[in-house]
Amino acid sequence: MTPVLKSVNVCVMRTAVETYKLLPKTNCGKCGTPTCFGFAAKLASHLASPDDCPAITEAARAILRENNKGKNDSPGTVYEQALEVLKQKIKAVDFKKAAALFGADYLGPEVLELMFLNERYHVTKEKILDASGNEARPWISILIYNHLCMPDPPEPSGEWISFGAIPQSHAKDKAWIGHVEEVVAKHFSGNAAALRAACERQGGVRTEVKGSQDAAYGFRFFPHYPVLLLFYDEVPDENFPAQCKILLDRNVPHYLDIESIVVLGEEFAARLTGG
């Protein structure tokens, strides 16, 4: 599996958590990033400025500016460096073969169209554009290129597993639970109807699954990357908090590396909650 995003995730997440503590945590989106945690990740990787957030206290802004001193001369951000590596790697990919393997539309030797999180992206070996013709955010491009660079991925197995069942996932369990499943559970706690509406807006398909869940929806993060979301709403009288479980196909390690799986889960949670 490709190690490209591994370096991105390790470098970003360690400092992003510290940065997040200085932010207002309102998820207002005025900085141009849906969530405060996403903005913290961009700050940590030098993709944003503290001045982009109008709600940061002056004391916190001063700390973040101090942290950024002397870093602007580095040879590109972590994301930019990762993208450059992937752009070299994607040059060797046969797009016609990739279209068949990954469920993309083959538009020519150097062009694909690929569905990602219910949105269509135009993929070339130089850049990735969204449906509006805008260049995709760096980490979106990284996820798509990483996926297309995975060697000979098998068809989905049809067997669901938890994130913790993925080999070598133990180092990322807390990130998956805290930044993906708990984000969804807390946002929709006490409002299963809103969760169902949000799932359908994001292309989710209501699925019949045995169990006591209040909602079950199937998604396709990529055409050949199925996901099952199970939501159990809170039961205040029994002191039972809302819970969300996001199950993955057993073959998911063949679709993305472990760090990319977590980043993709975080992006999905942000879109689902409207953050």
When pLDDT is averaged across residues 158-186 and rounded to a whole number, the result is 93
State how far the Cα of 90 lies from the Cα of 93, in Å rounded to an integer: 5
* Mean pLDDT of all residues in 26-52: 77
85 contacts 60 by C-beta, under 8 angstroms: no
Name the nearest CA neighbour of 262 among 6, 4, 2, 81: 6
Residue 78 resides in a domain: no
* Per-residue confidence (pLDDT) for residue 46, from 0 to 100: 65
Model pTM score: 0.74
Is the residue at 132 inside a domain?
yes
- Mean pLDDT, to the nearest integer, of 56-83? 70
Kindly report, residue by residue over 77-124, the tens digit of the pLDDT.
Answer: 566 778 888 999 999 999 999 999 999 999 988 999 999 999 999 999
Predicted pLDDT at 201? 96
pLDDT at residue number 77: 57
Given a cut of 80, is residue 72 above it in pLDDT? Answer: no
Same domain, 192 and 252: yes
- Asked if residue 45 and residue 106 are part of one domain, the reply reads no
Q: Is residue 88, in this structure, part of any structural domain at all?
A: no
Domain-located, residue 76: no
Of 222, 92, 223, nearest to 151 (Cα)? 92
Please tell me whether residues 202 and 251 are part of one structural domain: yes
Indicate if 55 and 106 belong to the same structural domain.
no
Question: Please, which residues have CB within 8 angstroms of residue 5's CB and are 6 or more apart in sequence?
Answer: 82, 142, 143, 146, 257, 259, 260, 263
CATH number of 40's domain: 1.10.15.40
pLDDT of residue 45 exceeding 90: no
Residue 47: predicted pLDDT: 65
Which whole number is the average pLDDT over 240-244? 97
- Domain residues for 132? 93-149
- pLDDT at position 8, please? 39
Q: Which of 252, 229, 269 is nearest to 158 (CA)?
A: 252
Residue type, 260: S
Q: What are the strands of the beta sheet with 225-232, ordered from one edge?
A: 160-161, 243-249, 225-232, 215-222, 205-206
Q: Are strands 111-116 and 105-108 parallel, antiparallel or unpaired?
A: antiparallel
Is 133 within a domain?
Answer: yes
What's residue 139's pLDDT?
84
Tell me how many domains the chain contains: 3
Pairing of strands 111-116, 128-129: unpaired
Domain contains 73: no
* pLDDT surpassing 80 at residue 147: yes
Of 39, 32, 35, the residue nearest 61 (C-alpha): 39
155 lies in a domain?
Answer: no
In angstroms, the CA 127 to CA 53 distance is 28
84 vs 160 pLDDT, higher one: 160
